[in-house]
Copies of this chain bind each other. A is one copy, B any other.
């Protein structure tokens, strides 16, 4: 690892120059057993040098027969340099609240790591309440340090404000690859309090600003500053959505048009929330070429597609907690930063995902799922009931509190060996009480106002893949001839599709 002392130009606070050190030196400040709050949200704004240096240190300790693990808290997912490196080194004891790294997932699913999967709106307050134990060290990427010692946030905010406040000690990574002109884009709310002293969060429109552009951090808490001169966030290039994603998006967009026609939604819709991935990209692409104008978004993540929507004038403004942009997206942002800064607000995660604000604004939520059952229960996190995929993220915050909420995915996976619609889900993240609209490429099931049996008819008929439709009808009809009829199930068979997949490699008989 090279040390980067080339320039202290972004550390305007002279008193802090003495704390500049190498990533290796900073990693030395993190002891085994520490609980470390790191920056990072959907592959953006994570520290890029200290985690790798720490992973190296952990491997060396293990090679010398010494135990060395830490607990890692973040905003959401990070990147191979953080989750991947630390998991690979067997350096993580407990990880929360969200991850999507293959190595990390593998360590969790082989029982070598603990993982607590938390609603993103709960994380910061659980730390404030003392529910998660003591936070020892915060490791936070920033775009710069101002003369008064306040910190200019990087491309994601996540839980950084909370980690800085709650940790005993703070280590900063200053990223020189970020545009200095990000300054002013962020809205860091310092009005939170513990009950019984809480007050309303006064956001009535997605573009209301209620905070400051900077993190506050007492200088005495800062124990190290590492200068990054080149590392960019590692986000994949934006890929064109495939035909299946386009079909799902078109079902959603047609439904929204119909709701506008009925007067249920206003002509410019309501603030959009959209998860990450192919279907979201397809929806955004559909909006780009569609009839809706003057849109807004109150969401977690801004991806490349949203920059396009902003540029075309379709999308007036976006509130989020993370800029998760491809290299091309970063270039586009940097080249037009003054334009985008007027139209983008990055907030702390407890505000971007706050039930109070989401319900008040009445967002339109579009989130992916792994599977849903015929009665409308949704599994967003588990593969075949036992293995974690990524985590619930903010989908629960938005699904329950939005004006209207969609759960989406292709009707089959693994070349047709897995059906996304099953008799009973193998894990529940969103209950029947929280699920309104299910969409696959086959069609859309509007579950509002329906009983479980009525929901089953809509879901099987509209959303199931033809290869599995008959078997689902068969289960549903036979279940109606056995036992109680509110949510008819045959318990000895309810999870047999998953069990068959585990044993034979396909859900098909």
* A interface residues with partner B (beta carbon < 8 Å): 94, 108-111, 114-119, 122, 126, 129-133, 194-196, 198-202, 204-205, 262-264, 266, 270-271, 355-356, 359-362, 377, 382-388, 392, 396, 400-401, 403, 424, 426-434, 436, 448-451, 453-454, 479-480, 483-489, 491-492, 494-496, 498-499, 502
Interchain CA distance A495-B453 in the complex, whole Å: 21
B119 touches A453 (CB 8 A): no
Residues of B within 8 A of A385 (CB): 424, 487, 489, 491, 494
**7 closest Cβ contacts across the A-B interface?**
A195-B362, A387-B484, A111-B485, A428-B428, A114-B451, A200-B200, A356-B356
Residues of B within 8 A of A485 (CB): 108-111, 386-387
What's the minimum C-beta distance from A110 to chain B, rounded to whole angstroms?
A: 6
Residues of B within 8 A of A448 (CB): 126, 131-132
Interchain CA distance A436-B116 in the complex, whole Å: 12
Instruction: Show 30 A/B contacts (Cβ-Cβ < 8 Å), sorted by A.
Output: A110-B484, A111-B453, A114-B454, A117-B432, A117-B433, A119-B433, A122-B433, A126-B448, A129-B264, A129-B403, A130-B263, A132-B448, A133-B449, A196-B271, A198-B361, A200-B200, A200-B201, A355-B359, A355-B401, A382-B487, A385-B424, A385-B489, A387-B484, A387-B485, A388-B484, A427-B487, A429-B431, A430-B431, A491-B498, A495-B495
B484 touches A384 (CB 8 A): yes
User: Which of B130, B384, B386, B483 is close to A384, meaning CB atoms less than 8 Å apart?
Assistant: B483
What's the minimum C-beta distance from A79 to chain B, rounded to whole angstroms?
A: 21
Residues of B within 8 A of A496 (CB): 492
What's the minimum C-beta distance from A297 to chain B, rounded to whole angstroms?
A: 13
Residues of B within 8 A of A401 (CB): 355
A131 touches B382 (CB 8 A): no
Identify which of A110, A115, A400, A450 gathers the most chain B CB atoms within 10 Å of its CB: A400
A111 touches B480 (CB 8 A): yes
Interchain CA distance A400-B479 in the complex, whole Å: 32
What's the minimum C-beta distance from A141 to chain B, rounded to whole angstroms?
A: 25
Interchain CA distance A389-B119 in the complex, whole Å: 28
For the complex with contacts A200-B356, A355-B401, A356-B359, 20 further pairs of A-B residues with Cβ separation under 8 Å are A94-B449, A108-B486, A111-B488, A114-B451, A116-B449, A126-B449, A195-B403, A198-B204, A198-B360, A198-B362, A199-B360, A384-B491, A385-B494, A386-B484, A386-B488, A386-B491, A392-B433, A491-B495, A491-B499, A492-B496
Residue of B at shortest CB range from A356?
A: B356
User: Given the known A-B contacts A202-B200, A386-B483, A433-B119, are A360 and B266 also in contact in the complex, defined by CB atoms under 8 Å?
Assistant: no
Residue of B at shortest CB range from A259?
A: B130
Residue of B at shortest CB range from A266?
A: B196
What's the minimum C-beta distance from A163 to chain B, rounded to whole angstroms?
A: 16
A431 touches B428 (CB 8 A): yes
Interchain CA distance A387-B486 in the complex, whole Å: 5
A116 touches B360 (CB 8 A): no
What's the minimum C-beta distance from A243 to chain B, rounded to whole angstroms?
A: 31
Interchain CA distance A373-B29 in the complex, whole Å: 41
Interchain CA distance A383-B427 in the complex, whole Å: 18
Interchain CA distance A198-B432 in the complex, whole Å: 26
B194 touches A491 (CB 8 A): no
What's the minimum C-beta distance from A497 to chain B, rounded to whole angstroms?
A: 9
Residues of B within 8 A of A499 (CB): 491-492
Residues of B within 8 A of A204 (CB): 198-200
Residue of B at shortest CB range from A479?
A: B386
Residues of B within 8 A of A362 (CB): 194-196, 198
Residue of B at shortest CB range from A95?
A: B451
Interchain CA distance A360-B200 in the complex, whole Å: 7
B387 touches A131 (CB 8 A): no
Residues of B within 8 A of A479 (CB): 386
Residues of B within 8 A of A195 (CB): 270, 360-362, 403
What's the minimum C-beta distance from A282 to chain B, rounded to whole angstroms?
A: 25
Residue of B at shortest CB range from A360?
A: B198
Interchain CA distance A400-B430 in the complex, whole Å: 12
User: Given the known A-B contacts A194-B362, A362-B198, are A377 and B428 also in contact in the complex, defined by CB atoms under 8 Å?
Assistant: yes
Residue of B at shortest CB range from A114?
A: B451
Residues of B within 8 A of A495 (CB): 491-492, 494-495
B132 touches A449 (CB 8 A): yes
Interchain CA distance A471-B449 in the complex, whole Å: 40
Residues of B within 8 A of A377 (CB): 428
Residues of B within 8 A of A115 (CB): 451, 486
Residues of B within 8 A of A355 (CB): 355-356, 359, 400-401
Residues of B within 8 A of A194 (CB): 362
Residues of B within 8 A of A487 (CB): 382, 385-386, 388, 427
B451 touches A94 (CB 8 A): yes
Residue of B at shortest CB range from A375?
A: B427
